[in-house]
Amino acid sequence: MSFEILTYSFMHRALISGIAIAILCSVIGLFLVLRRYSLFGDALAHSSFGGIALGLFAGVYPLWTAYGVSIISALIITKIKDRYNISGDASIAVLLSSGIATGLVIISFSGGFSIDIFSFLFGSILLISVNDTVLILALTGGILIVILLLYRQILYSTFNEEQAKVSGISVEKINYLIIFMAGLTVVTSIQLVGVLLISALFVIPNVTAIMYGRGFKQTAIISISFSVFSVLSGILISYIFDITPAGTIVLFSIGLLAATMGIRSLGLLSKK
């Protein structure tokens, strides 16, 4: 492989942004997977699709409206779920379908699908700007700092919600914080793999890492490693062979999952 591609500024931005997004999705995704909210990222992505369509229709930068719509709709659905005791999978289905339906209606008023819409649906990491890269790095840093500061509370409420309440932890506030950060992460990651594949970055590396049967911190490190490897490999391979980065990234993640399953089926993966 020629290293000439690593000298291009757009490739630098893509790789740096990709690494940041990979780390962020792994960390937030691990909490969602452990809370049995694996598809919540997918629901948020579809909800943000309505925000993207609204931004394009109103002539506003689509990601700004996507942030607002994704976070607000997620908080509303979570509140409704808690108040009316709706199951998690049902609330996710409502969020997912409402986002897509809203986006489709707005798109129909805008005259149909455009190139801009398709770039958000399937990702366009190689076209990412300097401002977008700075925003991604800033959000990644901010979210990771919040998680580190509230690590014990978030971890405790994830594994044992009832005991966390007894211990004086405001579980409801922690849950809303996780939802808020997940909303930010999803919209930020849309530029990498698009609306349709965003859940893959949340779920696949974490499911793969969990199969190694390690503790929480080790699982998080394994997940981050797999996610970063998939993103970097996917971006580089997609450019060399002129194929879509989003699909390539996800296929690398699936390949790591398949390899882990194969190793485990052969009894070569020891549990601790």
Output the tens digit of pLDDT for each of the chain's 272 residues.
456 777 788 899 999 999 999 999 999 999 999 988 887 888 888 888 888 888 888 888 888 888 998 888 878 777 777 777 776 677 777 777 887 888 888 888 766 666 567 777 777 788 888 988 999 999 999 999 999 999 999 999 998 888 888 888 898 899 889 989 998 999 888 878 887 788 889 999 999 999 998 999 999 999 999 999 999 999 999 888 888 888 899 999 999 999 999 998 887 776 55
- pLDDT score for 104: 82
- pLDDT score for 3: 64
Q: Would 34 be classed as within a structural domain?
A: yes
**Angle, helix 171-210 to helix 40-58, in steps of 10 degrees:** 110
Domain of residue 70, residue span: 3-265
230 and 205 Cβ atoms separated by less than 8 Å: yes
The reported pTM is: 0.88
Q: Would 271 be classed as within a structural domain?
A: no
| Exposure string for 240-264, b = 16+ CB within 10 A, e = fewer | eeeebbbbbbbbbbeebbeebeeee
Q: Would 66 be classed as within a structural domain?
A: yes
C-alpha dihedral sign at 24, 30, 36, 39: positive
247 and 197 Cβ atoms separated by less than 8 Å: yes
Q: Would 188 be classed as within a structural domain?
A: yes
190 and 48 Cβ atoms separated by less than 8 Å: yes
* Nearest C-alpha neighbor of 158 from the set 138, 178, 139: 178
Number of domains the chain is built from: 1
Q: Find the CATH number of the domain harbouring 150.
A: 1.10.3470.10
pLDDT (tens digit, 9 = 90+) per residue, 178-202? Answer: 989 998 999 888 878 887 788 889 9
Residue 69's contacts (CB-CB under 8 Å, 6 or more residues apart) are 47, 48, 50, 51, 54, 99
Q: Would 154 be classed as within a structural domain?
A: yes
- pLDDT score for 154: 94
- pLDDT score for 142: 96
Q: Would 272 be classed as within a structural domain?
A: no
- pLDDT score for 259: 95
Q: Would 68 be classed as within a structural domain?
A: yes
